Structure 1
Amino acid sequence: MTDFNGRTILVTGGSGGIGGATVRHLVKANAKVIASGRSQTALDAIAKETGCRTLAFDLASEEEIRGALEGLDLWGVVNCGGFGGEIATPMDTDIAIFDKVISINARGALIVTKYATQSMVRLGKGGAIVNVSSQAALVALDGHISYGSSKAALDNITRVSALELGKYNIRVNSVNPTVVMTPISSGHWSQPHVAEPFLKNMPLGRWATEDEIAAPIVFLLSDAASMITGVSLPIDGGYTCR
C-alpha cells in the first residue's frame, strides 16, 4: 500500500467528485491533505468526513491563490479544480465563457503551480504534481471547444513544467479521464442521444467512477511512479485508442 509518510499535498477542487475521492485516497495513504475550493461549506463537509485541512480560494484570482499558498510548505499538488463551461461549437461559442474556462482550468492550475512550487523548491525534498486534464485534450469531442481547449493547454503546462522542474526532482504529470458522472458533467452526458453513441465507441463501454480516477492520481504522486514525469495518462476505457 502507498504511504506518503505525512507529506503535505494540496488538492484543488477537493470538495468535488474526483477531488473528493482523491482526498479520501490520500488521507488513507497517510498524506497530510489540504482540500481547497471556493465553497467553505462544501470544504467543511469533506473535512468532517476525512480530517483534512481546508483552504478556500478562487482559482480565477491570482491574488487569492498567492495569499493562500504563501507560507505553506507543500510536497505535492493535485490540480483538480475546474469549470465545465458550455456545450457549444466554434461558430456559436460565448467568448466570455471560453475565457472563464481557460482562466480556471489552465491559468488557475498554472498559478497554483507557480506558487506551490516555490516552497517545494525551497524545501529541497522534491515532490509531485498531478494535473487533472481530460480525454477532451486528446481527441475532438462535439461541443467541447472551450473545455477541450483548456485541457489541451493544461497538458502543455504539464509537459513544460515537467521539463523545467525535473532538476528539482519535482515530477509533473496529467491524468486524462473519460466522463465521470459528477455534477459538472451529468447534465450533458446523461442524455441518451449523447451517451449511447459515445459509449458504443468506448471499448469498455461504461462511465468511469471517481475512485477509478483517484487511484491513478495517487499512483502518479507516489514513489512508485518515481521515474514518470511529463506524461498525459488516459483513463478513458480505451476511447482514445481508436
Structure 2
Amino acid sequence: MTCNVMEIRFDGKRALVTGAGKGIGRAVAVALDKGGAQVVALSRTGEDLEALKKECSDITTVVVDLLDWDGTEVALAGVGPVDLLVNNAGVADNQPFLEVTRTAWDRTFDTNVKAVFHVSQLVARGMRDKGSGGAIVNVSSVASQRALQNHTAYCSSKGALDMLTKVMALELAPYKIRVNSVHPTVVMTPMGRKEWSDPSRAAVLQTRIPMGRFVEEEEVVNCILFLLSNASEMVHGAQLTIDGGLLVN
C-alpha cells in the first residue's frame, strides 16, 4: 500500500504539534514544515527531537513533559501566537479491568485528557487574543467508541477526549477557532508495525475491517492536514473516523 502526504500550503501559519518525537506526531510536524508552516514540535524525549531537527532544520523543538503543569506553561509562553494545534501526545497502559492500577489510570488520563485540555486552553487563549482564529485537531481513536479488551483506561480516556473536543468546539466557535478530532484504528507507524507484526494476531482485527487492512501513517496525516486547512472551513466539532469501516461492521 502506497500513500503520499497531501501537499497543502500553510505559509504564514505557526503550528504546534505535541508528541512530535515519534509516529503520527512526527509525521505531521514534517508535513506541516514541508507545507510552509512555522512548526513548533513538542516532546518529552530530547533525542527524538534532535533527530527531527536533523531532518527539518527549520522546526523549533521544545523538550517538555506535558504532565508538568507549570513546566508546560513556561514552555508555551516562549512559543508565541499559534494558528494551528495538533494534540497528538498520548499513552496506552493496557491492563485487564480487574488489574488496572491507580498509576496507570492517572498517567493515562493525565496524558490523554488533562494535557490536551491544558495545552488547548493556553493556545486557544492566544488565538482568541490574536483575533484571527485558528484550528485545533485532537488525535483520538476508534477506542473511544468501541470497547477493546484490556484497554479500560485507554478507551475511557479517549471517550473523555471526545467530549472535551465537543465542548471546545461549542465554546471556541465564537472566536473562529475550529476544533475537530481524528479517530484511527491501528496505524502502521514503526511502533504499530512492531506491535502487530504477528500475522495471526493482526488477522483477528483485520477481518473485522471491511477494507481488510490497517491504516497507513500518511492516511492519518492527510486527514489532519485537511482539518487544519482552509479546505475544511465549515468542518467543526467533527469526529473523522479513519478505520476502513471498522465501526460499521
Per the TM superposition, whether the score is higher than 0.5 is yes
Matched, 1:6 2:6: no
Q: Which residue of 2 aligns with 1:82?
A: 90
* Cα offsets for 1:77-117 (capped at 9, x unmatched): 0000111112x222222221011011101111111001111
Contact 1:83–1:184 (CA<8 Å) still a contact in 2? no
Classify 1:182/1:98 alpha carbon distance in 2 versus 1 (closer, same or farther; 3 Å): farther
What RMSD over aligned residues (CA atoms) do the two structures have, in Å? 1.5
Q: CA deviation at 1:217?
A: 0.2
Q: Which residue of 1 aligns with 2:169?
A: 162
Unaligned ranges ≥5, structure 2: 1-6
Matched, 1:108 2:115: yes
Q: CA deviation at 1:173?
A: 0.5
Q: Which residue of 2 aligns with 1:73?
A: 81
Contact 1:204–1:237 (CA<8 Å) still a contact in 2? yes
Q: Which residue of 2 aligns with 1:176?
A: 183
Q: CA deviation at 1:188?
A: 4.7
Q: CA deviation at 1:186?
A: 5.2
Q: Which residue of 1 aligns with 2:70?
A: 63
Unaligned ranges ≥5, structure 1: none
Code of the aligned partner of 2:109 = I
Partner of residue 139 from structure 2, selected from 126, 132, 138: 132
Code of the aligned partner of 1:127 = G
Partner of residue 30 from structure 1, selected from 36, 40, 64: 36
Paired residues in the alignment total 241
Structure 1 residue runs of 4+, over 3 Å off? 181-194
SS in 2 for 1:122: helix
TM-score, length-normalised on structure 1?
A: 0.95
1: CA distance, partners of 2:230 / 2:238? 16
Contact 1:9–1:34 (CA<8 Å) still a contact in 2? yes
2: CA distance, partners of 1:191 / 1:134? 22
Code of the aligned partner of 1:139 = R
Matched, 1:50 2:56: yes
Contact 1:84–1:184 (CA<8 Å) still a contact in 2? no
SS in 2 for 1:128: strand
Contact 1:127–1:170 (CA<8 Å) still a contact in 2? yes
Contact 2:41–2:61 (CA<8 Å) still a contact in 1? yes
SS in 1 for 2:61: strand
Classify 1:210/1:78 alpha carbon distance in 2 versus 1 (closer, same or farther; 3 Å): same
2: CA distance, partners of 1:14 / 1:163? 27
Code of the aligned partner of 1:131 = N
2: CA distance, partners of 1:184 / 1:194? 15
SS in 2 for 1:30: coil
SS in 2 for 1:19: helix
Q: CA deviation at 1:187?
A: 5.9
SS in 2 for 1:91: helix
Code of the aligned partner of 1:10 = L
Matched, 1:17 2:28: no
Percent sequence identity over aligned pairs = 40
Code of the aligned partner of 1:202 = I
TM-score, length-normalised on structure 2?
A: 0.92
Code of the aligned partner of 1:157 = L
Classify 1:98/1:70 alpha carbon distance in 2 versus 1 (closer, same or farther; 3 Å): same
2: CA distance, partners of 1:206 / 1:66? 40
SS in 1 for 2:240: strand
